[in-house]
Amino acid sequence: MSFIHRTVLLDEAVHGLNLQPDGVYVDGTFGRGGHSRHILAQLGPQGRLIAFDKDPQAIAEAGTITDPRFTIVHDGFAQLAQALDKLGVSTVDGVLLDLGVSSPQLDDGSRGFSFRFDAPLDMRMDTTRGMTAAEWLNTADVKDIAEVIRDYGEERFAKQVAAAIVAGRGDQPLTSTRQLAALVAKAVRTREPGQDPATRTFQAVRIFINRELEELSLILPQALARLKPGGRLSIIAFHSLEDRIVKQFMQHASKSHMPDRLPLRASEMPVPPLRIIGKPVRASETEVAENPRARSAILRVAERTEAAL
């Protein structure tokens, strides 16, 4: 089965990298290669691109790129430092992250990411390893399930949903997306117009199973440490939890931090390691009309300064 994948904020995210023809760049989320191909098209013969992805289908797609300047790593971007060391790369000129789940993953019902299809309750981005959503939901206690749905899905009926899941699995083990969606629908009393009652729960379970927020928190300091002066971070987030982590990291790294009451003039304050570039960028009305999933996307860009970490 083939799927149409529209890369969100394609030009804006790559432009944010301020590409140098002979630079070394990282695409931390290859997906179906939209950003990677756009980067390669602008690199010179000495340029290099290293891409990461957990998804075996993404790795298969990356295998169709025969460009010698391109390297694909079958792992999450949280392994950035380790992977770069293995490749003999000490520093890079830019890191691009396109966070969240890709359109092909959502549109492939067999992956279990979406309640729009009846499919095995998997939700793993890397289907070769790790616990499935079904395995976790059938064994976790009600308190843990409620916390995940509350914290990662921002679901105000988290306790009721967790209780319904635990009660439902007592009658029959959870194995399909349709089972989970039906249990959630009974527990969620109200929902925003146009939003399925299961939306927040599916998002929360997916984020938890794939450790998405933990891995994002791990990659940011690694990326900063590997950037050359003038190198860029270009990061697209799709929901508030991701964007909050990115925003707070960039803001913290772009400010000088000194002990209180230390007698220093403003000119003597240390230079922070990051400089925020421009304002956050959102998809245009035209892009959202063509690709509704772009409506929540937000791009933030920051540049490495000369300051030591």
Tell me, rounded to whole angstroms, the distance of Cα 9 from its chain centroid: 14
To the question of whether residue 5 is assigned a binding role by annotation, the answer is no
To the question of whether residue 202 is assigned a binding role by annotation, the answer is no
Residue with tokens 């998997």: 122
The answer to whether the Cα torsion of 78, 111, 4, 292 is positive or negative is negative
- CB-CB contact of 17 with 102 (8 Å): no
Distance CA 178, CA 134 (A): 12
**DSSP states of 42-69 as a string?**
H--TT-EEEEEE--HHHHHHHTT---TT
To the question of whether residue 33 is assigned a binding role by annotation, the answer is yes
Distance CA 225, CA 233 (A): 11
To the question of whether residue 278 is assigned a binding role by annotation, the answer is no
To the question of whether residue 98 is assigned a binding role by annotation, the answer is yes
Output the CA–CA distances (angstroms, integers) from residue 8 to 52, 113, 214, in the order listed: 18, 19, 23
Distance CA 280, CA 272 (A): 20
Helix 212-226 and helix 199-209, axial crossing angle in degrees, nearest 10: 50
Residues in binding site for S-adenosyl-L-methionine: 33-35, 53, 77, 98, 105
Residues in binding site: 33-35, 53, 77, 98, 105
